[in-house]
Structure 1
C-alpha cells in the first residue's frame, strides 16, 4: 500500500515536471524577454542583500 502511494506520488511529480517544462517553453515563446526580466530580478535581489 505504501509502495502504491509512492508510485502515485512519483507519477504526479513526473506529470508536474512535464507540465512545468511545457509551460516554460510556451512562456519563452510568448515573452522572449523573460530571461532578461529574470536577470533584472536577480540583480535587484543581489543589491538588496
Structure 2
C-alpha cells in the first residue's frame, strides 16, 4: 500500500568501475564486429576479381 515510500528511494547505481567495464566491452564488441565485416568484405571482393 505504501508505494510512495518505496519510490522515494533512488535506484542503486552500478559502481563506476562496472560502468567503465560495460562501456569498454561494448566498444570492444563493436570494434571486433567492424573488423570481421571489413575482413569479409575484403575476401569477398578478392574472390570476385
TM-score range, shorter-chain basis?
Answer: 0.5 to 0.7
How big is the shift at 1:30? 1.3
The higher radius of gyration belongs to: 2
Q: Partner residue of 1:16? A: 31
Unaligned runs of 5+ in 1: 33-49
Q: What's the TM-score, normalizing by structure 2?
A: 0.61
Off by >6 Å, runs of 4+ in structure 1:
none
Question: Once superposed, what is the RMSD of the aligned Cα atoms?
Answer: 0.7
TM-score (norm 1): 0.61
Work out which of the residue numbers 25, 33, 37 in structure 1 matches 2:40. Answer: 25
Aligned residues: 32
Listed as ranges, the gaps of 5+ residues in structure 2 are 1-15
User: Which structure carries more relative contact order (alpha carbon 8 Å, separation 6+)?
Assistant: 1
